Amino acid sequence: MSEPVKGKVEWFKDYQFIGGIEGDKCSVILGEGGISPMKLLLLSVAGCTAYDVVMILKKMREPIEGLEVEISGERREEHPRIYEKVHLHYRIYGRVDENKAKRAIELSQDKYCSASAHVKLSGADVTYSFEIIPEKCGD
């Protein structure tokens, strides 16, 4: 079993909270004036899978030059207002082979991305699409 992850959220003022993970250098403002925990969950999924896809494509020796992951989610109306649908759109820059790009995304979604797995375990339908753009604008 791995070491436990420890963090803390502290009430800052009004309806604002500051949170961070022990050993990390970043803090997040939650609540009014900051990002909501549910939106942060979506960003966690996008960040997790983005990391995986870049790592996998680099291991495949694909010429990836950039990656953007857009994510959207729809929450149910009743409480707890969990996500019912999540969609990720991958924009891959570089002359990357389409089949290898699809395989990298599938590996991330089906095997490696723990954040996505958590959302799926809650019952959300997680879908994805992707496009390959051979060159970034301005390059």
Q: What global pTM score does this model have? A: 0.90
DSSP 8-class letter at 132? E
Residue appearing with tokens 């999924």: 45
- Domain ranges across the chain: 1-35, 37-133
What CATH number does the domain located at 37-133 have?
3.30.300.20
Q: What are the φ and ψ backbone dihedral angles of 6, each rounded to 5 degrees?
A: -120, 140
What is the strand order of the sheet 125-133 is part of? 66-75, 83-93, 125-133
Compute the distance between CA of residue 50 and CA of residue 43 in angstroms, rounded to an integer: 10
Each residue's pLDDT tens digit, 23-38: 998 888 888 888 999 9
Model confidence over 61-99: pLDDT tens digits? Answer: 999 999 999 999 999 999 999 999 999 999 999 999 999
